[in-house]
Structure 1
Amino acid sequence: MADDWISLATLKRLGVDEIRNRIAESPQSAARWVQAGALNGLVNAQLAWGQMLLDGTGTARDAATALRWFGIAAQAGSAEGLNMVGRCHEHGWGTPVDPARAADFYRQAAQKDDAWGQFNLAGLLLAGNGVPPDRRQALALYVRAARRGHAKAATMVGRYLENGWERPARPAAARRWYRRGAEGGDYRGQFDHGRLLLAAGRREEGLGWMRRSLENAVPAFCRLAGDGLRTSADPALGTLALLALKRACESGTAQDQRAYATALAEGLGGLAQPEAARAAFAQARRIEEHDRLARSTDEAGAARRPSVKAAPRLARAIRALLGRVG
């Protein structure tokens, strides 16, 4: 291992451009250089290395070690490190699920004005998960995070205002907040913004935002959206439902594949597509057979896979590392 050691002096001597080139070579190369920054005490590299361990990017997935690196960054005063330790406790990444401990770390990150810490603490308060439910405090945190540009928080403020949580409903204000979430890239905000535009008679604009949402959303959201939209008599919404069910298939489950196949066979959003439906049903059967074989080999010890939504934070952390060593 000594021959592989990359010192802080080496990192500084190479400079930003050369390190960027080496990181871009491959995930394995990125892992080596980001780990080097972490071992040399660069906080942003510690965050990036923890995320790479969590995702299994360029290295074996190791959630427990990822948690330790997030903890090291947190001890150095990193708000993002505190937030990521909280996420590990909330989701059981490398440690037992403990939402109360997660809330403690989120609260510390929020006190440092970290928008993700504010957003995640608000989610626990809204659900009463690990902490007493407190919708009013959750709203205050969502507003603070949204004012810092957090798109998902803006969507949640819109939801409060649309549904009249903790205060009278204000539909016009809800539309403004949903728009902020949508323009910030939050797929839920895009869907809600489009939904309200459609209800207001701005059909093409509304359908466009809803389509954009489904093109960006995770499979679980697409599954719910597809189930909700497929009952509409509007052909345009039927077409969106079909798109949503297709995107839901990215979950890799036979259930989602069968739902999409059924929609194709029924002609959701237009004409029936029997050939495409048969292909989708065949894919569902292949997934079922694969799952059956996988269960027979006893994969119960496989590590939990963390959310892929963390990938953008990895990219930001690597960019920040490059700035630190330049």
Structure 2
Amino acid sequence: MSASSAQAITPEHLHNISTEELKRQLASDPREAVQWIKALAEQGEPEAQALLGQAYLDGHGLQPDPRQARIWFRKAAEAGHLFGMNMLGRAYDQGWGGPVDHACAAYWFRMAASQGLDWGMYNYGHLLLHGLGVEKDELQAFDWYNKAAELGHAKSLGVVGRFFEEGWLGEKDQGKAFDYYRRSAEAGDFRGQYNYALMLLERTQVGDALHWMRVALINAHLAFSRTMAANLLQHPHSALRQVGMEALHKCAQQGDEGDVYTYAKRLLSQQDIMSLSLGRWWLRCAARQGHVQAQQAVLRYIYLS
């Protein structure tokens, strides 16, 4: 697509294009697709403005530019676009393209939430729960999480489960917590999957617990994978300790030299020959990546061999 052809596109094109066609264009040539989106955004189309903000945020088809992302999210938000409102709130909440401002984040999350967006409800609930930019209000936070959960929002289902498991608003209700975690897990949230697995294990449903714990590990981002490794390696059940090792392995593959070194140390603490051999290999990997303790350990192995 040339620049001139992009400028010729009208808002009707965006309204008429199917989701599948848009995904195909983005997947096939993001640089061309983002020019098409940009042309529509500059014509004032809120949907394109929100998409352009996301493209700038992710670096999809152009250089990442959080400042531009915030600008385009604001244009979409001020035009009444719910996704744009939520993402502008996220920009303020996370400091994308400017300073963190939880009060502004709360305003835009509340705007999106009050108009029915589940992510807005979830994000506004989070600020209420932790007292960020608004007065801390656990009851009101629960109400917003619960509204999103009623819409099937996976993360909100999991948080409602935590309310019941921990008894944040009164007495604990393990039965309700179990049900909400199950629904969160089935809807695809890795934290819900993790908590559901733990509750399944408490019910001695070991096979199902291991299944959901491994699904959680597949879906988890790096930070939560590290949390899973730390928690599960201390678990009294040997099967979950094995999943903890799998979490360490994932972190070593996706993380930094510290993750590689941590995995190497754990392998080297094992007694079997295979683990020791693998541990030395990972230790060398950490050393090559610049981890000082790994480099020192490799030198000791060389000296002693």
TM score, norm. by length of structure 1: 0.82
Query: Which residue of structure 1 lines up, in the alignment, with residue 146 of structure 2?
Result: 143
Residue among 31, 36, 42 paired with 1:33: 36
> Match for residue 324 of structure 1?
none
2:4 is the alignment partner of 1:8: no
List structure 1 segments (4+ residues) > 3 angstroms apart after TM superposition.
1-5, 9-24
Unaligned runs of at least 5 residues, structure 1: 290-326
Greater alpha carbon shift after TM alignment, 92-101 vs 5-14: 5-14
Cross-structure match for 2:247:
244
How far, CA to CA, are the matches of 1:35 and 1:74 in structure 2?
16
8 Å CA contact 2:222–2:255 kept in 1: the answer is no
Deviation at 1:245, TM superposition (A): 1.2
Q: 1:227 maps to what in 2?
A: 230
1:283 paired residue number: 285
CA distance in 1, matches of 2:258, 2:173: 39
The CA distance in 1 between the partners of 2:85 and 2:21, in whole Å, is: 31
Paired with 1:18 and 1:119, the residues of 2 have a C-alpha distance of 30
1:11 Cα deviation after fit:
7.1
Alignment of 1:9-88 (within 5 A): 9=10, 12=13, 22-88=25-91
Q: CA RMSD in A?
A: 2.5
| Structure possessing the higher radius of gyration over alpha carbons | 2
Structure 2 counterpart of 1:260:
263
Do the aligned residues in 2 keep the contact of 1:252 with 1:287 (CA within 8 Å)?
no
Q: CA deviation at 1:261?
A: 1.4
- The number of residue pairs the alignment matches comes to 289
Alignment gaps of 5+ in structure 2: 292-305
Q: Does 1:165 align with 2:168?
A: yes
Contact conserved, 2:11 with 2:45, CA < 8 A, in 1? Answer: no
Note the C-alpha offset of 1:216: 0.7
Change (3 A) 1:202 1:10: closer
Q: 2:194 aligns with which of 191, 195, 201?
A: 191
C-alpha distance in structure 1 between counterparts of 2:289 and 2:133, whole Å: 36
Identity of aligned residues (%): 36
Match of 2:124 in 1: 121
| Amino acid of the structure 2 residue aligned with 1:12 | H
Cα 1:233–1:11, aligned 2, differ >3 Å: closer, same or farther? same
The answer to which of 1-10 and 58-67 deviates more is: 1-10
Q: Which letter maps to 2:98?
A: T
Query: Does structure 1 retain, via aligned residues, the 8 Å contact 2:11–2:40?
Result: no
CA contact (8 A) 2:3 2:35 kept: no
